[in-house]
Amino acid sequence: MLWGLSPRTGTERSMKKKAYFKADEADTGLGKFKGLEVRIGTIVDDEWDEPMGPTPMPDPTGLRAWDHKLLARYQPSYMPYCQVCCLCTFGKCDLSGDKRGACGIDMKGQQARIVLAAANIGCAAHLAHARHLVDHLIEEFGPRTELIQGPGTEIHAPVSRLVTGMRPRTLEDAAIIVDYCETQLAHTLSATHTGQEGSWLDFESKVLHAGMIDQVGMEIADLVQISTLGFPKADPEAPLVQSGIGMMDTNKAIILTIGHNIVPAAAITDYITEKKLGGQVEVGGMCCTAWDITRRDPSAKVIGPISWQLRYIRSGKADVVVVDEQCIRTDVVREAQKVKSPVISTCDKAVMGLPDRTEDTVDSIVDELVSFKIPGAFIHDHHKVGEVATKVALALKPKRRKMKFFPSKKKIQKMAEECKKCSECIRACPNDQPVMEAVLAAQLGNFEPLRDVYQSCIGCARCESACPNDFDLHSWMVVAAEADCKDETYMVRTGRGAIQDIEIRNVGQPIVFGEIPGVIAHVGCANYPQGGKDVHDMAEEFAKRRYIIVTSGCAAVSAGHVRDENGQSIYERRSGDFDAGGVLNVGSCVSNPHIAGAAIKIAAIFAKRNLRGNYAEIADYIHNRVGAVGISWGAMSQKAASIASGFWRLGVPVIVGPHGSKYRRMLLGKAEDERAWTVYDARTGDRVLTAPAPEHLFYAAETVAEANVMTAKLVLRPNDTGKGRSIKLSHYIDIHEKYYGFFPDDVWRYIRRDSDIPITLKDKILAQMKENNWKERKIIDPTLLKEQVMGGGS
Amino acid sequence: MVMRPVPWQTGEICGPDSAKSLTKAAVLKRDLSKAKSPLLIVGSEAATEKHGKGDMVDYAIALSEAGKMPIIATGGAIKAFIEKGFEGAKSMGAMEVAFRLQDPEWKGPNGKGPHDLIFIYGIPYYMQWTLLSGVMNFGTHITAITLGRYYQPHAKWSFPNMKEKAYHSALDEILELVRGGK
């Protein structure tokens, strides 16, 4: 079936794609043609017999009704970071009290607007990444290259199916989906302009829209790279790879890659493989590029999360630094210059002020970099990057290994005597670490306190910026912790990609019924309040209780950076299967939609729900049935904000660490507000009170203890069976007693009938139920959507 | 040591409104006498902060008993209260507290509110900063007094980044003031 090129919306738009072919000579049933060129506006994907749902490719208001249901239950709690607005020349406008700005906006609206701005920025970063990958891979492999998520993934690209109504089967399809996402982002970004949206509620709805679009863009980014670049394909046994500063072999030339976009880093490992230089050069990555290079080439190494950048650059071990995009230290050139490491920037979004050498010959660029005539170069041709980076690293390694970059302890002790005791280092530290006291101890030759600070340090170096003596305090910490750095040697499982349909088939029922108590995803950045070990400890606490643990991004690195008494990381001692007790790393930031995808596929496979353009129904299903919780303990970036927003729209709660309170808005429920927890019984259409589950949608926890207790609570779902609810409550009570020291006083709220009560705790719970005038409730088929009631709710 | 009333964490500056400097307990007299229902909020750091012969959990217990005010313990601080045999504290998340304090009808942890005055300390500096911002902007019925050592601009009253000795003396004076009745 052919469609014309006239503008279309909704369903039609979701099905179309442009087709073009050209033939010098063609012998067809219609005759013989020379110089044939045919352009077709659109072709409908007739082969997919799944009926189209109500909201393919929704615009920013397409799912507004669903958003408002969520936002009525989980109300925004704003904590302004600033009382003024300074976004236009009307301002600055004082919005304190009940004042409004010159444009008419009030404080609540302004806070929601800033939240939307953050979600847009995060979404833009992933989407631009996806666009680059799609365009680049089309150029390399052709538009008709098939997209393959892996064996056992018949329902590939579940997020794209759900949102767009399309099955992206080729790179060309991927490009159409990215087109749609870019249009949506333009709309949600434009809403933040002065004199556009005015309601906090509609700003928040657009936050959810930007988050959903972000999920689609990320899914496409990972799908296209998995399909074409030789990554593990939905593989529970993705390779274990070396990780940690101590794993880097300084006998070889070292290339450090930082960022998120695999293309230049892949060119480096490809060049090394092609020239058989693996014995002389090694490649280590930081942040998500680390995961993606090891997915492509398991001989590459994961040095550490985002917060390890400064300590590794300053160590001088990297002979060349190659940056691509996102989460790169913006002073990377300045820092690398201090240790005579040239920087190669490769991405138009992060040129870093370097001269453009894209058109120059490899030899001339190498000469300039090796002789330090230029501190680095912008090379926008990844093939050239591979060759230049390798040649520069090999040329510089012999000279650079003789250099020492960190001061000796003796020198630090001497410098520490000049400390002015002004406390500015402590005041600048995000985690209030006792930096000054540690420096004062170093005066006396005691380096243990500096070593302690290293363990919690997020590597921001704000202490140095604040120091009136310009001391390199972060370097001092690294010197004090030299032995710890050398000991950072771990084996971590690289990103497996999607979850297989067969895995979902095996666990779908126990998850929906609550017998596997939950799926917990540790994702995001490394802005930890007390170091990355917390991520490991949280993951282990729940893995040993047979929850399914999924990891991605920097959190996936931190989870693997703890060894047990047998010297094994969590990835070595636990299975990579999507099953009870498994700990599976899906990959980089753009792999996060595999986590959302698993929840979506539960609805498709276990409950046989249609996904195609059917967002609200599936989100309602997940929200009421799939006990999934996202945790981003070190959430820092706007990307983390947009990733979280995508999970919120699916009804999946997200917990962040204490720094996450600076996102300045939580989405919180009120357990005692019965109206908020009253849902439809899909079987009867009756309005029925359920438990406050999940109680919150976005929550910053102050401590690991609080995060663990909240996680155990937020996996509760209205649809849990009696057995499932009883298992979940057993864990909640046990974790609550362990970390808070007492039996939780809200268990009664989650008891619907006798079968929900954990048998060994019956007496205590019965007493609590009596005290609170508990009444028996039905176990229903819960939905927030009237149209999901049998017969359409009429 | 910085003595000016500027935020302890240098980047955490705020908008047009900022807290008054709490340099002596007596300045609180008026607000304490007006308060009908005070509430004490104590965060996770209280258990590791020393005060006198005990810690800031002991101080909270003393202050609560002196002012007959309920305690909310955040971030798992409840465990320290229980270990000390004190049963008058309730556990809530700091973010839940920030949310509830914006509601003038909220009855508080024991159902005896609404509360019109809070004492607060022990939550990580930046998190308390955001919590108090929510209170200052949307919980305008609340008088917020921070009892941490460092300046919190979003309270009504805050210590101005005190030296340790002076800080602990000031805490004792406040305890005496509360004990002295309203």
The phi-psi region of residue A591 (left if phi > 0; otherwise alpha if psi is between -120 and 50; otherwise beta) is alpha
Q: How far is A702 from chain B (nearest CA, A)?
A: 5
Least confident of A35-49, A153-167, A182-196, A510-524: A35-49
Contacts of A666 in chain B (CB under 8 A): 95, 98-99
pLDDT for the residue A474: 97
Contacts of B138 in chain A (CB under 8 A): 78, 107-108
Contacts of B124 in chain A (CB under 8 A): 432, 529, 658, 702
In terms of CA atoms, which chain A residue is nearest residue B139? A97
What average pLDDT does the segment A411-432 reach? 96
Report yes or no: A596 and A650 within 8 Å, Cβ to Cβ: yes
Is a pLDDT exceeding 90 seen at residue A268?
Answer: yes
pLDDT for the residue A324: 97
Q: In this complex, is the C-beta atom of A461 within 8 Å of any C-beta atom belonging to chain B?
A: no
Q: Band of the pLDDT at B5, cuts 50, 70, 90?
A: confident
Is A424 in Cβ contact with B127 (below 8 Å)? no
What average pLDDT does the segment A66-94 reach? 95
What domain range includes position B53? Answer: 20-179
- ipTM, 2 decimals? 0.96
Is A77 in Cβ contact with B102 (below 8 Å)? yes
What average pLDDT does the segment B13-31 reach? 90
B44 belongs to a structural domain: yes
Q: In this complex, is the C-beta atom of A94 within 8 Å of any C-beta atom belonging to chain B?
A: yes
Alpha carbon distance A599, A512 (integer Å) = 10
Alpha carbon distance A780, A405 (integer Å) = 66
The CATH number assigned to the domain holding B107 equals 3.40.50.1220
pLDDT for the residue A600: 98
In terms of CA atoms, which chain A residue is nearest residue B94? A702
What average pLDDT does the segment A155-180 reach? 97
Contacts of A659 in chain B (CB under 8 A): 126
Q: How far is A476 from chain B (nearest CA, A)?
A: 22
Residues of B with CB under 8 A from a CB of A: 1-2, 8-11, 14-17, 43-44, 74-76, 78-79, 82-83, 91, 93-96, 98-99, 102, 123-127, 130-131, 133-134, 137-138, 140
**Measured at the alpha carbon of residue A182, what is the angle toward residues A179 and A187, in degrees to the nearest 5?**
130
Q: Band of the pLDDT at B15, cuts 50, 70, 90?
A: confident
Q: CB neighbours of A316 closer than 8 A, spacing ≥ 6?
A: A339, A340, A341, A400, A403, A404, A405, A406
Return mean pLDDT, chain B. Answer: 94
Report yes or no: A334 and A343 within 8 Å, Cβ to Cβ: no
B14 belongs to a structural domain: no
The phi-psi region of residue A669 (left if phi > 0; otherwise alpha if psi is between -120 and 50; otherwise beta) is beta
Is A702 in Cβ contact with B123 (below 8 Å)? yes
Q: Band of the pLDDT at A20, cuts 50, 70, 90?
A: low
Q: How far is B28 from chain A (nearest CA, A)?
A: 23
Specify burial of residue A98 (Cβ count, 10 A radius: 0-12, 13-18, 19+).
Answer: exposed
- From B2, B91, B93, residue closest to A701, measured CB to CB: B93
pLDDT for the residue B12: 82
Is A705 in Cβ contact with B75 (below 8 Å)? yes
Alpha carbon distance A428, A466 (integer Å) = 6
pLDDT for the residue A514: 84
A88 vs B14 pLDDT, higher one: A88
Is A94 in Cβ contact with B15 (below 8 Å)? yes
Alpha carbon distance A509, A441 (integer Å) = 58
Q: Band of the pLDDT at A791, cuts 50, 70, 90?
A: confident
Is a pLDDT exceeding 90 seen at residue A63?
Answer: yes
- From B8, B91, B130, residue closest to A79, measured CB to CB: B130
Is A80 in Cβ contact with B95 (below 8 Å)? no
Is a pLDDT exceeding 80 seen at residue A259?
Answer: yes
pLDDT for the residue A23: 67
Alpha carbon distance A511, A717 (integer Å) = 10
Q: Band of the pLDDT at A515, cuts 50, 70, 90?
A: confident
If we measure between CA atoms, which residue out of A538, A543, A568, A542 comes closest to residue A555?
A538
Is B9 in Cβ contact with A432 (below 8 Å)? yes
Q: How far is B68 from chain A (nearest CA, A)?
A: 23
Alpha carbon distance A245, A486 (integer Å) = 6
Alpha carbon distance A248, B3 (integer Å) = 47
Is a pLDDT exceeding 70 seen at residue A46?
Answer: no
Is a pLDDT exceeding 70 seen at residue A9?
Answer: no
Is A705 in Cβ contact with B98 (below 8 Å)? no
Is A80 in Cβ contact with B15 (below 8 Å)? yes
Q: How many domains does chain B have?
A: 1
Contacts of B14 in chain A (CB under 8 A): 82-83
Alpha carbon distance A265, A756 (integer Å) = 52
Is B9 in Cβ contact with A94 (below 8 Å)? no
If we measure between CA atoms, which residue out of B66, B114, B116, B110 comes closest to residue B87?
B110
Kindly state the DSSP code that residue A356 receives in the 8-state scheme: B
pLDDT for the residue A747: 98
B1 belongs to a structural domain: no
Give the CB-side neighbour count of residue A265, counting CA atoms within 13 A. 37
Q: In this complex, is the C-beta atom of A96 within 8 Å of any C-beta atom belonging to chain B?
A: yes
Which residue blocks in A401-520 are alpha helix, DSSP H?
409-416, 424-428, 435-443, 448-456, 462-466, 473-480, 482-486, 501-513
Read off the pLDDT of residues B140-153 as tens digits, 9 standing for 90 and up. Answer: 999 999 999 999 99
Residues 518-537 of A with CB under 8 A from B: 529
Q: Mutation target for B interface from A79, A85, A98, A739: give the one with most B CBs within 10 A.
A: A79
Q: How far is B129 from chain A (nearest CA, A)?
A: 9
A4 vs A174 pLDDT, higher one: A174
pLDDT for the residue A18: 56
Contacts of B93 in chain A (CB under 8 A): 699, 701-702, 706, 710
Please list, residue by residue across A699-708, b when 16 or more beta carbons sit within 10 angstroms of its beta carbon and e when fewer do. Answer: bbbbbbbbbb
- From A107, A424, A739, residue closest to B76, measured CB to CB: A739
Is B99 in Cβ contact with A666 (below 8 Å)? yes
Q: Read off the pTM.
A: 0.95
What average pLDDT does the segment A361-371 reach? 98
Q: Band of the pLDDT at B38, cuts 50, 70, 90?
A: very high
B90 belongs to a structural domain: yes
What average pLDDT does the segment A368-373 reach? 97
Q: Mutation target for B interface from A100, A420, A427: give the one with most B CBs within 10 A.
A: A427
Structure token digits, residue B162: 């005190």
Q: How far is A407 from chain B (nearest CA, A)?
A: 28
Q: Mutation target for A interface from B130, B140, B150: give the one with most A CBs within 10 A.
A: B130
What average pLDDT does the segment A392-397 reach? 98
pLDDT for the residue B52: 96
Is a pLDDT exceeding 60 seen at residue A39?
Answer: no
Report yes or no: A696 and A667 within 8 Å, Cβ to Cβ: yes
What average pLDDT does the segment A420-442 reach? 96
If we measure between CA atoms, which residue out of B55, B139, B153 comes closest to residue B97?
B139
pLDDT for the residue A669: 98
- From A658, A741, A742, residue closest to B127, measured CB to CB: A658
Residue ranges of domains in chain A, CATH in brackets = 2-43 (no CATH), 69-79+105-228 (1.10.8.190), 242-400 (3.40.50.2030), 409-471 (no CATH), 491-787 (3.40.50.2030)
Is a pLDDT exceeding 60 seen at residue A12?
Answer: no
Kindly state the DSSP code that residue A132 receives in the 8-state scheme: H
Read off the pLDDT of residues A456-505 as tens digits, 9 standing for 90 and up. Answer: 999 999 999 999 999 999 999 999 999 999 999 999 999 999 999 999 99
DSSP-assigned beta bridge partners for residue B9 = none
Alpha carbon distance A349, A358 (integer Å) = 15
Is A432 in Cβ contact with B127 (below 8 Å)? no
Is a pLDDT exceeding 50 seen at residue B3?
Answer: no
Is a pLDDT exceeding 80 seen at residue A229?
Answer: yes
Owner of token pair 């591979």: A386
pLDDT for the residue B17: 82
Read off the pLDDT of residues A706-743 as tens digits, 9 standing for 90 and up. Answer: 999 999 999 999 999 999 999 999 999 999 999 999 99
Q: How far is A169 from chain B (nearest CA, A)?
A: 44
Return mean pLDDT, chain A. Answer: 94
Contacts of A741 in chain B (CB under 8 A): 78-79, 82-83
B24 belongs to a structural domain: yes
- From B9, B79, B127, residue closest to A702, measured CB to CB: B127
Q: Quickly list DSSP for A630-643.
A: EEETB--SHHHHHH
Q: How far is A334 from chain B (nearest CA, A)?
A: 23
If we measure between CA atoms, which residue out of A482, A71, A113 comes closest to residue A315?
A482
Alpha carbon distance A629, A274 (integer Å) = 43
B15 belongs to a structural domain: no
B63 belongs to a structural domain: yes
Report yes or no: A494 and A241 within 8 Å, Cβ to Cβ: yes
What average pLDDT does the segment A439-468 reach? 97
Q: How far is A83 from chain B (nearest CA, A)?
A: 5
Read off the pLDDT of residues A22-34 as tens digits, 9 standing for 90 and up. Answer: 667 767 666 666 6
- Identify the helix (H) or strand (E) that includes residue B121: strand B117-121
Cβ contacts from A onto B, under 8 A: 125
Which residue type sits at A725?
Answer: R
Report yes or no: A118 and A81 within 8 Å, Cβ to Cβ: no
In terms of CA atoms, which chain A residue is nearest residue B92? A706
Which residue type sits at A472?
Answer: D
Angle between helices A593-601 and A200-228 (to 10 degrees): 100
B167 belongs to a structural domain: yes
Contacts of B16 in chain A (CB under 8 A): 83-84, 94, 96
**Measured at the alpha carbon of residue A25, what is the angle toward residues A19 and A28, in degrees to the nearest 5?**
75
* SS3 category, B120: strand
Read off the pLDDT of residues B168-177 as tens digits, 9 standing for 90 and up. Answer: 999 999 999 9
Is A661 in Cβ contact with B16 (below 8 Å)? no
In terms of CA atoms, which chain A residue is nearest residue B8? A427
Report in angstroms the alpha-carbon separations of A513 from A31, A113, A521, A630, A721: 62, 38, 19, 19, 5
Report yes or no: B42 and B74 within 8 Å, Cβ to Cβ: yes
Angle between helices A448-456 and A435-443 (to 10 degrees): 160
Q: In this complex, is the C-beta atom of A496 within 8 Å of any C-beta atom belonging to chain B?
A: no
Read off the pLDDT of residues A303-341 as tens digits, 9 standing for 90 and up. Answer: 999 999 999 999 999 999 999 999 999 999 999 999 999
Is B126 in Cβ contact with A430 (below 8 Å)? yes
pLDDT for the residue A794: 59
pLDDT for the residue B16: 82
Report yes or no: A11 and A165 within 8 Å, Cβ to Cβ: yes
